[in-house]
């Protein structure tokens, strides 16, 4: 099944700029088929949310795009560059355009908050240290942690760590931001702060976002397109109003009934 994530015809500001194309992608872990001939495309600047039950393959899509895992079949193209197979040099170029925020934050505990954010801009993009630090401080300001630049990540709360992780991903100025259940490991009272930050980023930047989440209100707020996953396939796709308002597929109705 193939899903286009362009807006409905007639919507203003639509570009036909295709950024991500996934075709016939299958991924198995042992006997378990996580993705089953999946196809989808994402246009530049779209905010796409992936919803569905656990184990339906949502996170695997993000991991494939970040080249953290390889597909067993099918092709993935990002900004015109095919990923599997591709020489390591090409993969690095593609990765530079993609940022990822993880469920478990994955900040580097051996570095200060500031260095977590400047490390890649300095060593990968070749930014002068001062410029990278200035950019990092701006981002820390954006995520509301300007006073934590010199702290160790382990001294921060989960919500603060996740906001640093978001700043770290944004410091690379990626075209695409992959958000993998970024609030699932947070204490309930910390979730709202992180989601508000992401709403801000979605509203104020033209960054393309692919977001795996169980926060349906958040999905409704930020998405142009919602993809409902089940058993390794997209079973339903559409604008959030329709998916949440009048889901067509029985599985979607069941799923939304259970989580909303």
176 binds other proteins (CB under 8 A): no
DSSP state of 30: T
Query: What is the signed CA dihedral for 167, 171, 177, 183, rounded to 10 degrees?
Result: -10
29 binds other proteins (CB under 8 A): no
Least distance from C-beta 201 to other proteins, angstroms?
17
Distance (Å, rounded) from C-alpha 40 to C-alpha 49? 13
40 binds other proteins (CB under 8 A): no
67 binds other proteins (CB under 8 A): yes
Residue 70 sits at the vertex; the CA angle it makes with 218 and 28, to the nearest 5 degrees, is 85
**Interface stretch with other proteins, choices 19-27, 72-80, 117-125, 132-140 (CB under 8 A):** 117-125
Distances in whole angstroms, Cα of residue 72 to Cα of each of 27, 35, 58, 194: 5, 9, 16, 34
- Residue from 7, 21, 96, 173 that binds other proteins (CB under 8 A)? 96
112 binds other proteins (CB under 8 A): no
70 binds other proteins (CB under 8 A): no
Distance (Å, rounded) from C-alpha 68 to C-alpha 65? 8
Percentages helix, strand, coil for the chain (3-state, rounded to 5) are 40, 25, 35
- Residue from 48, 167, 169, 222 that binds other proteins (CB under 8 A)? 169
168 binds other proteins (CB under 8 A): yes
Give residue 154's Cα distance to chain centre. Answer: 24
Least distance from C-beta 125 to other proteins, angstroms?
9
- Residue from 2, 26, 104, 112 that binds other proteins (CB under 8 A)? 104
111 binds other proteins (CB under 8 A): yes
Distance (Å, rounded) from C-alpha 32 to C-alpha 40? 21
Distance (Å, rounded) from C-alpha 165 to C-alpha 107? 6
Please, what is the end-to-end C-alpha distance for the chain in angstroms? 26
81 binds other proteins (CB under 8 A): no
- Residue from 35, 38, 66, 190 that binds other proteins (CB under 8 A)? 66
172 binds other proteins (CB under 8 A): yes
Least distance from C-beta 109 to other proteins, angstroms?
7
Distance (Å, rounded) from C-alpha 144 to C-alpha 194? 10
Closest CB to other proteins among residues 84, 220:
84
Binding site for other proteins (CB under 8 A): 66-68, 92, 95-96, 98-100, 102, 104, 106-111, 119-120, 123-124, 168-169, 172
């Amino acid at each position: 099944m193939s899903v286009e994530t362009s807006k409905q015809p007639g919507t203003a500001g639509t570009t036909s700029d295709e950024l991500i194309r996934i075709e016939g992608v299958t991924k198995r872990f042992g006997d378990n088929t996580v993705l089953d001939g999946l196809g989808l495309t994402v246009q530049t600047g779209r905010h796409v949310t992936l919803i569905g039950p656990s184990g339906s393959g949502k996170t695997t899509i993000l991991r494939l795009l970040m080249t953290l895992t390889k597909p067993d079949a099918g092709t993935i193209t990002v900004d015109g560059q095919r990923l599997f197979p591709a020489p390591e040099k090409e993969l690095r170029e593609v990765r530079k355009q993609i940022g990822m925020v993880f469920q478990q934050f994955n900040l580097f505990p051996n570095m200060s908050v500031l260095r977590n954010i400047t490390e890649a801009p300095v060593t990968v993009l070749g930014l002068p240290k001062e410029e990278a630090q200035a950019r990092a401080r701006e981002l820390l300001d954006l995520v509301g942690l300007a006073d934590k630049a010199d702290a160790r990540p382990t001294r921060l709360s989960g919500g603060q760590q996740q906001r640093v992780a978001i700043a770290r991903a944004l410091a690379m100025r990626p075209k695409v931001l992959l958000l993998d259940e970024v609030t699932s490991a947070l204490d309930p009272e910390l979730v709202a702060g992180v989601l508000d930050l992401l709403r801000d980023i979605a509203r104020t930047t033209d960054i393309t976002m692919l977001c795996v989440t169980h926060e349906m209100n958040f999905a409704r707020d930020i998405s142009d397109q919602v993809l409902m996953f089940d058993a390794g396939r997209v079973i339903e796709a559409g604008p959030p109003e329709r998916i949440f308002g009048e889901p067509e597929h029985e599985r979607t109705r069941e799923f939304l009934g259970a989580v909303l």
